[in-house]
Amino acid sequence: MKWFTSIFIYLALISAAAIAFSTDFINGRIIGGQEAQRGQFPFQAALRINVTDRPTFSTCGGSLIAPDYTLTAAHCVLIKDVMNIEVHLGAHEILNIEEEGRLRVVVQPENFFAHKDYNSRSIVNDIALLKFDQKVTFTDRIQPIALPSWSDVNVDFEGKIVVASGWGRYSDDVQGISPVLRYAETPVESQRICMHYYQNYEIVTDSNICIYTGVGKGTCNGDSGGPLTYTDENGRKIIVGLTSFGSDIGCVEPGWPSVFTRITSFLDWIEENSDIKINP
């Protein structure tokens, strides 16, 4: 990759697709990862964003955090003329609409709650909630992911192994989405190093968490809104990030971190905009 390639910041709402799920998944990719086992990520959601008077739609990732709430990125819901968002839970084979154990929940715009201070230029506060009209029933394929506790607020997770998951393209050589859910494990990058790479844009802040891509693993163009998870010392999985943005000079150009919304920076916002209570 030529280093003089002009660098710009992508959000993942790039792709438009045909009426079925047989389309690009936001041009998102889980790079250098592997296929998940069925039910390995029961909190994983696929979002289909339907727009009024268009035969096409966009897609994002999300995470089930309660029986009636999915967490995603603000830029996934703040779309002009959005009609509704379909939240697909329990999916593994993304193209298989009739997949056993899968549930589709349709969310109307009045139940989209994007952060009021989200800024599409600086990409700050890139977080949103989708509220369901009815609570879903949990199964072995549909389970919520735990949120961080208040005691985690000052934890930076630097060096900890985290997992990004989604259905995005997993190689520049592959066209279209992955037909199955994939994931990649990689360490959390130093905040100082992440800020250094993006210093010309002044968009990485303490409310972001970044992952190291020097091992050839990461996200590229998104799986926007999808989860970044960490397994604590008690074996409990918690969501620590939402896929937000990265550099567009290549999928895992060594060094350039993928950037996520840091969940611990928004625990108060989650409590204020839902009936979810954060653990001490």
- Tens of pLDDT along the chain (280 residues) come to 322 223 333 443 333 332 233 222 233 445 567 899 999 999 999 999 999 988 777 778 999 999 999 999 999 999 889 999 999 999 999 888 899 999 999 999 999 999 999 998 889 999 999 999 999 999 999 999 999 999 999 999 999 999 999 877 555 555 566 788 989 899 999 999 999 988 888 889 999 999 987 655 555 543 789 999 999 999 999 999 999 886 554 454 556 788 999 999 999 999 999 999 999 9
Question: Could you say which of 15, 58, 75, 258 is catalytic?
Answer: 75
- To the query of whether residue 274 is one of the catalytic residues in this protein, the response is no
- Whether 259 is covered by a domain: the verdict is yes
- To the query of whether residue 75 is one of the catalytic residues in this protein, the response is yes
- To the query of whether residue 58 is one of the catalytic residues in this protein, the response is no
3-state secondary structure of 106: strand
- The confidence score (pLDDT) of residue 161 equals 96
Same-domain check for residues 178 and 221: yes
Same-domain check for residues 206 and 102: no
Same-domain check for residues 160 and 254: yes
- What CATH code is carried by the domain that includes residue 238? 2.40.10.10
Same-domain check for residues 14 and 122: yes
Domain that holds residue 251: 150-265
Question: Could you say which of 24, 126, 152, 223 is catalytic?
Answer: 126
CA dihedral sign of residues 147, 206, 187, 258: positive
Domain count for the chain, please give it: 2
Give 237's strand partners.
231
Do residues 213 and 250 make contact, with C-beta atoms less than 8 angstroms apart?
no
Question: Could you say which of 58, 224, 244, 258 is catalytic?
Answer: 224
DSSP characters for 202-260?
A: T---TTEEEE--TTS-EEES--TT-EEEEE-TTS-EEEEEEEEEEESS-TT-TT--EEE
